[in-house]
Structure 1
Amino acid sequence: MEIRRQTEELEAKILSPFACLSKNTKGRERMEEPCPVRTEFQRDRDRIIHSKAFRRLKLKTQVFIIPEGDHYRTRLTHTLEVAQIARTCAKALGLNEDLTEAIALGHDLGHTPFGHAGEDVLASLYDLGFRHNEQSIRVVKHLEGDQGLNLTYEVLDGILNHTGPNKPITLEGQIVKIADRIAYINHDIDDALRAGIINIQDIPWDCLSALGVRHSQRIHTMVFDLIQFSKGKAEIGMSKEIQGAMNNLRTFMFEHVYIGSEAKKEEDKARYLVRALYLYYIENYHHLPIDMRQRIEHEEISRVVVDYIAGMTDRYAVAQYKKIFIPKGFPLE
């Protein structure tokens, strides 16, 4: 236990009074013996990284559906960029980097294939609705492994509230909430420029003059502003000027990239595919994998089908659609 205790003592000495200390966690739903080396938040981070759901993020859409170019972001690279930005902010503010990283790495585990297009379809079909942040909680509490990952309360809270109106209870979670937006706005601009969907001249000049023309400049401006605004405070935020410029940039991206652009031209096909898979498995749930079928004993079929489809990668969803709906040629002897 000596190594873990030394780390916990070091946290208490060097971290901000506003930081969430590992030794002060509210704990887990199921009690566990402490690790002799790692703090509780380090354990959470490691469990997320080693999960199957985390590995599947590499084949899930960020903005561009199944891009042919090697340099376009996926849900995994987005997650890593969020974690990097969030850790930079946490370190500068004297907050708990391990907690911040665990939340960042787990925040999108519940995302569907084909990004928000898949999310919208499941939300419209499933009676209880579908939100990827809530699905991320289902992944880490119920679907990953035999009994879920049994994460700490603070990590679960940060994952659940990384989007939506509610504020995470920890400053570390609040950092991830803003870092998520900083990351996706900037890397989606980078990808849209690479794809020729927008030109740098299309971006409002007031945004560029406030934040920077280059990708690295914009991230630096936003991160530095967050740090300066939040330093010594019991809240995480940004200055009115930079927050306003970032919001305007986000609005520009919705108008020119996220809705109706060339980046989205395959979305109707993706929506059709996800809908077809859902309706098929509702009627043919006996074709679900055995581990999913076993869940039907204590959960509704629709809930199990949603969990199964939400966990698919883009590639796997396409393969299942072909297997179910595309006829095979009769083999010659």
Structure 2
Amino acid sequence: MTLAPYACHPETTRGRQFPETVSTFRSPFQRDRDRIIHSSAFRRLKHKTQVFVEHEGDYYRTRLTHTIEVAQVARTIAGHLGLNTDLSEAVALAHDLGHPPFGHTGEDALAELMAPHGGFDHNAQAIRIVTRLERHYAGFDGLNLSWETLEGIAKHNGPVTGDLPYALAEFNVEYDLELHTYASAEAQVAAVADDVAYNHHDLHDGLRAGLFTEDDLMELPVTGPAFEEVDRLYPDLDPYRRRHEALRRVFGAMVEDVIAVAQTRLQTSNPQSPQAIRAMDGPIIRFSKPLYQNLKAIKSFLFHRMYRAPSVVKERQRVTAMVNDLFPLFLDDPASLPPEWRADVARAKNRTDLARVVLDYVAGMTDRFAIQEHERLCQVGQNDRETG
């Protein structure tokens, strides 16, 4: 496929932090994608939550299924716009690697616990994972990804300025990712693909969980017209097929809107290089203003009816307590960390260094492992105290 001039061309990559021989059969961005897929952190996404805690049902999205959906959307949009689909896919596949157990609930808990020690942000943690914590290769820590993929992971949501999370600030000193600029168009595609995927599947998962009904969605923009079209074309359709047909139309409307807006903006601005995209005063890949406003209404609905539903809030409180128990336990007794973490503990010069080691360990846990560790380390002791 012929790439547009504003696409990231593999032959002009800025390279890797640690120079390597170029692959004879894969481009640099294909190699990045493959390393991400084969990483331990990627496999752990299978048992990390999206909205519902991983054990609550086999049909709800996990971080892994969400990530696969994001990658599919990113390839579709990138390919249509003449962008590098491999780079968009690589950024999409890595965009959630830094999420801790229990989704945004776990992130909120760890951010509060880490406030005295440099903070916590899942994008910054993803950079730490792919540059430090994956330890499989003989010549370097991390995955030694290309500059363009690292840039996309760090700032696919836009420039990163102000007080940086320590994990990002620490790496950026060694390898400047130009955090003050926008990312490549490929990374921007991955970011909007993330929005498309979760807007779609949170509606689907919320319906499956019984937190709201199709009738509720008939009252909303975008979803209402989608159900009306399905009812007109397929009267008396089976409820599950009706739901699927309507939500796939919502999905398609978002993708078509992004492509149409991007084509117009690219034609108007006529960028001639990836750097011209980075230097713009706003993202080139985004929803139209009307659709953005409609999606805000849907997100507000989901916030109140799904993310803050009583059953979800109750579970959020339960898992927050688990994180709040586990983190100080390991911080006060680092000998309870697994043997492979002892070298990191030994290198810690102060409590902040130690807190960052503990963070790496806890943030890497899956939902199920965090629950098991909490039962093993905390509830057993509690039971002993109650019976003693």
User: What TM-score does the superposition give when structure 2 sets the normalisation length?
Assistant: 0.78
Aligned to 1:144: 134
Structure 1 residue 260 displacement after superposition = 3.7
Q: Deviations over 1:212-255 (max 9, x none)?
A: 33110011001011111112605212222112212221222112
* d(CA) in 1 for partners of 2:153, 2:98: 10
Q: Is the 8 A contact 1:157 1:168 kept in 2?
A: no
Q: Does 1:203 align with 2:212?
A: no
* d(CA) in 2 for partners of 1:82, 1:229: 19
- The change in CA–CA distance for 1:243 and 1:211 in structure 2 (over 3 A counts) is farther
Q: Which amino acid aligns with 1:157?
A: E
Q: Choose from 263, 272, 275 the match for 1:231.
A: 263
* d(CA) in 1 for partners of 2:55, 2:23: 41
Aligned to 1:6: none
Q: Does 1:303 align with 2:352?
A: no
* d(CA) in 2 for partners of 1:18, 1:178: 18
Aligned to 2:190: 176
Q: How many residues end up aligned between the 2 structures?
A: 318
Aligned to 2:151: 157
User: What TM-score does the superposition give when structure 1 sets the normalisation length?
Assistant: 0.90
- 1:198-277 mapped onto 2 (5 Å cutoff): 198-203=212-217, 205-208=219-222, 212-213=226-227, 214-231=246-263, 233=266, 234=271, 235-277=284-326
Q: Which amino acid aligns with 1:239?
A: S
Q: Does 1:69 align with 2:57?
A: yes
Q: Is the 8 A contact 2:70 2:190 kept in 1?
A: yes
Q: Is the 8 A contact 1:211 1:222 kept in 2?
A: no
Q: Does 1:20 align with 2:8?
A: yes
* d(CA) in 2 for partners of 1:261, 1:158: 36
Q: Choose from 28, 35, 56 the match for 1:47.
A: 35
Structure 1 residue 211 displacement after superposition = 6.7
- The change in CA–CA distance for 1:24 and 1:50 in structure 2 (over 3 A counts) is same
Structure 1 residue 204 displacement after superposition = 6.4
Pairwise CA RMSD of aligned residues?
1.9
- 1:20-169 mapped onto 2 (5 Å cutoff): 20-126=8-114, 127=116, 128-146=118-136, 147-163=141-157, 166=160, 168-169=182-183
* d(CA) in 2 for partners of 1:64, 1:238: 27
* d(CA) in 2 for partners of 1:114, 1:99: 28
Alignment partner of 2:222: what SS? Answer: helix
Structure 1 residue 23 displacement after superposition = 1.0
Aligned to 2:175: none
Alignment partner of 1:47: what SS? Answer: helix
- The change in CA–CA distance for 1:185 and 1:80 in structure 2 (over 3 A counts) is same
Q: Is the 8 A contact 1:56 1:313 kept in 2?
A: yes
Q: Deviations over 1:185-232 (max 9, x none)?
A: 110110000110011222363513687331100110010111111126
Structure 1 residue 292 displacement after superposition = 1.8
- 1:275-314 mapped onto 2 (5 Å cutoff): 275-299=324-348, 300-314=353-367
Aligned to 1:4: none
Aligned to 1:321: 374
* d(CA) in 2 for partners of 1:263, 1:199: 17
Q: Is the 8 A contact 2:217 2:224 kept in 1?
A: no
Q: Which amino acid aligns with 2:130?
A: V
Aligned to 1:3: none
Unaligned runs of 5+ in 2: 161-180, 228-245, 272-283
- The change in CA–CA distance for 1:287 and 1:211 in structure 2 (over 3 A counts) is farther
Q: Deviations over 1:31-51 (max 9, x none)?
A: 111011100000000000000
- The change in CA–CA distance for 1:74 and 1:239 in structure 2 (over 3 A counts) is same
Q: Is the 8 A contact 1:197 1:263 kept in 2?
A: no
- The change in CA–CA distance for 1:156 and 1:279 in structure 2 (over 3 A counts) is same
* d(CA) in 2 for partners of 1:61, 1:218: 23
Q: Does 1:194 align with 2:226?
A: no
Q: Which amino acid aligns with 1:150?
A: N
